[in-house]
Amino acid sequence: MKKFILLASIVLSAVISHAQCAANFSFSVSGNSVQLTNLSSGTSYYNWHFGDGSASQAINPTHSYAAAGTYDVCLYAYYSDSLGGFCADTICQSVTVQDSTTNTPCDADFTYTVSGNTVMFNNTSSGTNANQWYFGDGSTAYSTNPTHTYASAGTYWVCLYSYYDDSLQVTCGDSICYQVVIQDSTFNTSCDADFTWTIVGNTVQFNNSSIGTLYYNWHFGDGSASQAINPTHSYAAAGTYDVCLYAYYSDSLGGFCADTICQSVTVQDSTTNTPCDADFTYTVSGNTVMFNNTSSGTNANQWYFGDGSTAYSTNPTHTYASAGTYWVCLYSYYDDSLQVTCEDSTCYQVVVQDSLAGLRSFRLKEFELYPNPASTVLNVKLDNMPKGTYASIVDLVGREMIRADLTSKITEIPVSELPSGVYMIRLMDAEKGLIGTRKFIRR
């Protein structure tokens, strides 16, 4: 009897434990496909109805709809066992799916052909199925490839808004505008002359941005002229030139308008595009050395003879007071009429002995400065650095502003305390012999 009561209690407990069913689910939509996630509790079996006549008994089904729309998706979830235990629950939710083509990006574009005052438009948009045209004169159209006739000549902004619209009004859209010029004998729109330009050395490329014009007369300010639409002109010398464009419209029936614009254009010397390369040879005769400047791409020089003397001539001769080994450096640069420079430096070790002295030299690898111009820190990079080398930063009158030991291949020198301006940096060896010099700018 006790066993029967115990068994009855277990069965009753099992039935009661499943008495509370709760149906629930979530979903995610991608185009026309829906992934359903079953969140039901206290249930073991499931009947899904997707709202389009389809059904499933899977736990977490995926369903693809044939058309965009909003569907009532219902889940009937229940529990049933062999002893009669049973409970059930139902939940319905609205699921909206889109047309699969709405995932294609819209790209509006068109071309056109002008004949007199009539324009034929060719729609080259992609990913769209509807269009709105705005012709710039107050007129509109909704066709794919419209033709439009303007009442008068002029310059019009024509815009196309092209979009995709599916059955749920879910759209992607894009728009583009082009300027269309209509010209005929009744021309009554003002001409507008204008241009921009780009400069490389002493050569200028002109970009004509005039509106409502057909013909052009360019005057480059150096006596030269052109009738090209977008001319290129090379100047013989650096300078600032007043460039003028006379732009006009004229047809065979007397239609005419004209406009003029002048702008100042500054060009540089063409040689500034040639890299500077400092170099020299020398001949020793006793304590006198004759230097031969072999630099290229430069037009100015500064010599440092290693004994405190300097020179600015092209091929100097220097007499030393005593025999010894001297670092002779040449800082050679190009400076055009606009003060645009390129620069380079090189150093050789010159041995002065006596009247029978031979010649011995080697080339010091050029050191680098960066950034140049510098605002806070100047980096000095030097390969094969002699022991005890230091950097001395001086102003243009020779006053030393900063001294820093060079202890590694790349040394950082703080320059934030220097006033803005041009400075020279000299590399000196342990015996205060000059082994290199460069110019840098404190921004």
Kindly state the tokens that stand for 407: 């202890």
Dist. CA 210–CA 385, nearest whole Å: 59
Give the model's pLDDT for residue 6: 40
Select from 363, 397, 428 the last residue of a domain.
363
Neighbours of 152 (CB within 10 A): 12
DSSP string, 308-329: S-EE-SSS-EEE-SS-EEEEEE
State residue 430's pLDDT score.
Answer: 76
**HSE-up of residue 15 (Cα within 13 Å, Cβ side):** 11
Asked whether residue 240 is domain-assigned, the answer is yes
Tens-digit pLDDT profile for residues 132-150 = 999 999 999 999 999 998 8
Average pLDDT over residues 276-303: 90
Dihedral angle computed from the Cα positions of residues 414, 415, 417 and 419, in that order, rounded to the nearest 10 degrees: 180
> What sections of 178-320 are H helices per DSSP?
none
Instruction: Give domain status of residue 117, yes or no.
Output: yes
Report residue 252's pLDDT band, with 50, 70 and 90 as the boundaries.
low
Number of other residues whose CB lies within 10 A of the CB of residue 193? 21
pLDDT at 375 over 60: yes
Number of neighbours of residue 82 by Cβ within 10 angstroms: 5
User: Using 50, 70 and 90 to split pLDDT, how confident is the model at 317?
Assistant: very high
pLDDT score of 180 = 92
Query: pLDDT band for position 170 (50/70/90)?
Result: low
Q: What is the mean pLDDT of residues 26-39?
A: 90
Q: What is the DSSP letter of 83?
A: T
CATH code: domain of residue 284: 2.60.40.10
| Same domain (yes/no): 260, 296 | no
pLDDT mean over 214-231: 95
- Measured CA distances, 202 to 123, 206, 352 (Å): 43, 13, 46
Residue 234 placed within a domain: yes
Pick from 278, 428, 277, 291: which is nearest to 359 by CA? 291
Look at residue 343 and tell me if it is in a domain: yes
Which of 53, 76, 97 represents a domain boundary (last residue)? 97
pLDDT attached to residue 396: 65
Task: Report yes or no on 9 lying in a domain.
Answer: no
On whether both 371 and 437 belong to a single domain, the answer is yes
Q: What is the structure's pLDDT at 201?
A: 75
What is d(CA 135, CA 157) in angstroms, rounded to the nearest whole number?
7
What is the rounded average pLDDT for all residues in the chain? Answer: 83
Looking at residue 150, its pLDDT comes to 87
| pLDDT the model gives residue 65 | 86
Which residues neighbour 138 within 8 Å (Cβ) at sequence distance 6 or greater?
A: none
> Into how many domains does the chain fold?
5
Are 301 and 295 spatial neighbours (Cβ–Cβ below 8 Å)? yes
Q: Choose between 115 and 278: higher pLDDT.
A: 278
339 within domain boundaries? yes
**Residue (of 321, 325, 331) closest to 394 by Cα position:** 331
Q: How far apart are CA 255 and CA 301, in angstroms?
A: 62
Residue among 429, 431, 420, 192 nearest 440 (CA): 420
Regarding whether 310 and 348 lie in a shared domain, the answer is yes
- Given a cut of 80, is residue 185 above it in pLDDT? no
Are 69 and 170 a contacting pair, CB within 8 Å?
Answer: no
Q: How confident is the model at residue 167 (pLDDT cuts 50, 70, 90)?
A: low
Q: What is the Cα 197 distance to its own chain's centre?
A: 20
- Confidence at residue 236, expressed as pLDDT on a 0 to 100 scale: 83
Give 25 or 441, the one with higher predicted confidence. 25
- The pLDDT assigned to 338 comes to 57
Same domain, yes or no: 44 and 19: yes
Helix (H, G, I), strand (E, B) or coil at 15: helix
What pLDDT, on a 0 to 100 scale, did the predictor assign at position 310? 92
4: in domain:
no
Is the Cβ–Cβ distance between 198 and 126 less than 8 Å?
no
Contacts of 98 (CB under 8 A, 6+ apart): 29, 31, 32, 68, 166, 168, 170
Lowest mean pLDDT across 42-46, 185-189, 378-382, 384-388? 185-189
Indicate which CATH number applies to the domain containing 379: 2.60.40.1220
Query: Which candidate, 366, 373, 352, 354, places its Cα nearest to that of 439?
Result: 373
Q: Report residue 392 as tokens.
A: 């001395």
Backbone angles phi, psi at 133, to 5 degrees: -105, 140
352 in the same domain as 417: no
DSSP structure string for 84-108: S-EEEEEEEEEEEE--GGGGSPPB-
Among 142, 166, 182, residue at a domain's last position: 182
Q: Which domain holds residue 38?
A: 14-97
pLDDT at residue 169, rounded to an integer: 62
Rounded to an integer, the average pLDDT of 193-202 is 90
Between CA 239 and CA 342 the distance in angstroms is: 18
Query: Which amino acid is it at 129?
Result: N
Q: Write the single-letter amino acid at 137.
A: D
* Inside any domain, residue 7: no
Same domain assignment for residues 21 and 57? yes
So what's the pLDDT on residue 250?
77
Q: Are residues 281 and 230 in the same domain?
A: no
Q: Do 441 and 373 have their domain in common?
A: yes
Same structural domain, 407 and 442: yes
The residue type at 381: K
List of residues 6+ apart from 159 with CB closer than 8 A: 133, 134, 136, 175, 176, 177
Same domain, 231 and 258: yes
- pLDDT for 10 equals 41
Q: For Cα atoms 56, 61, 67, give the angle at the middle one, nearest 5 degrees.
A: 80
Q: Is the pLDDT of residue 100 over 70?
A: no
Q: Are residues 353 and 421 in the same domain?
A: no
Is the per-residue pLDDT at 425 higher than 90? no
What is the rounded distance in angstroms from the CA atom of residue 392 to the CA atom of residue 429? 11
425 and 354 in a single domain? The answer is: no
| Beta-sheet strand order (sheet of 368-370) | 368-370, 377-381, 410-414
Q: Report how far apart, in Å, the C-alpha atoms of 156 and of each of 113, 134, 149, 178 are.
A: 14, 10, 12, 8
Q: What is the DSSP string of 167-185?
A: TT--EEEEEEEEEEEE--T
